[in-house]
Amino acid sequence: MKIHTYTDASMGENTYIVVEKDKGLIIDPGLDVESMIDKINELGIKEVTLFVTHGHFDHIVSLEALAKHYNVPIHVYKDEVVYFYDTLLNASKLVGNPFTVDKSIPIVSLEDSLTFNNKSYPIYHTPGHSLGHVVLLMKEINALFTGDLLFNGSIGRTDLAGCDHQDMINSLKFIQTFDPKLKIYPGHGPISTIEDEIKYNPHLKGL
């Protein structure tokens, strides 16, 4: 498996595509749909799995169009589904471009794992930045996709609808129990490791 990272120029959101043979796991598709389809084609992907760590607009920009184009469902944690249909929760209303996801698109409501290429990968509920925010662990490639929970040197904001500061603190405490050698692939910014964030991230000090 190989991880490909694509960063949107306007919001700095990271879209990740994990490729195994001709299968592609699309994590937080924040690029415009034309760019997403071009990247998927370039990587030789024939079968697409769509997964989001959380439902804020910058992480789901092309989600609906990709689901329709490839005729596949959206995989999301059960408590986050509501974000797709609420412009305040997904924060699109705040930037003057309100949108929701078409309710006709099938949803795979996840609880504790995601299936990709016939293998199961654990997801962990890490609320704070959103009600149903999750992180995805793929041990075989030493990767933890942290969405907007934990960044390189920073953390996700807690001043939007559905955010909760205490939940964020609890989630950050929890994530520090993971293997320190794990690489984190955040929703914004460069990759890091759990170890480096514990050592150097000022937001983790004293938790």
CA distance 68 to 64: 6
Q: Is 187 helix (H, G, I), strand (E, B) or coil?
A: coil
CA distance 126 to 136: 10
Per-residue pLDDT tens listing for the chain (207 residues): 999 999 998 899 999 999 999 999 999 999 999 999 999 999 999 999 999 999 999 999 999 999 999 999 999 999 999 999 999 999 999 999 999 999 999 999 999 999 999 999 999 999 999 999 999 999 999 999 999 999 999 999 999 999 999 999 999 999 999 999 999 999 999 999 999 999 999 999 988
Angle at 48 between CA 42 and CA 50, to 5 degrees: 115
CATH of domain 2-204: 3.60.15.10
Query: What local confidence, expressed as pLDDT, does residue 173 receive?
Result: 97
Domain boundaries of the chain, sorted by first residue: 2-204
Alpha carbon 179 to its chain's center: 20
- Is the whole model's pTM more than 0.85, yes or no? yes
Q: Where are the alpha helices (DSSP H) in 95-193?
A: 165-175
| Residue ranges of E strands in 111-161 | 113-116, 119-125, 134-138, 143-147, 150-151, 154-155
Tokens representing residue 29 in the block: 């598709």
Q: Are 186 and 14 in contact (CB under 8 A)?
A: yes
H or E element that contains 35: helix 33-42
pLDDT in tens, 31-82: 999 999 999 999 999 999 999 999 999 999 999 999 999 999 999 999 999 9
- Main-chain phi, psi angles of 34, to 5 degrees: -60, -45
- Main-chain phi, psi angles of 96, to 5 degrees: 80, 15
- HSE-CB at 73 with a 13 A cutoff on CA atoms is 12
Neighbour-count burial of 95, counting CB atoms closer than 10 A to its CB (0-12 exposed, 13-18 middle, 19+ buried): exposed
Q: Are 170 and 149 in contact (CB under 8 A)?
A: no
CA distance 27 to 44: 17
Length of the chain: 207
CA distance 77 to 100: 17
Query: What local confidence, expressed as pLDDT, does residue 207 receive?
Result: 86
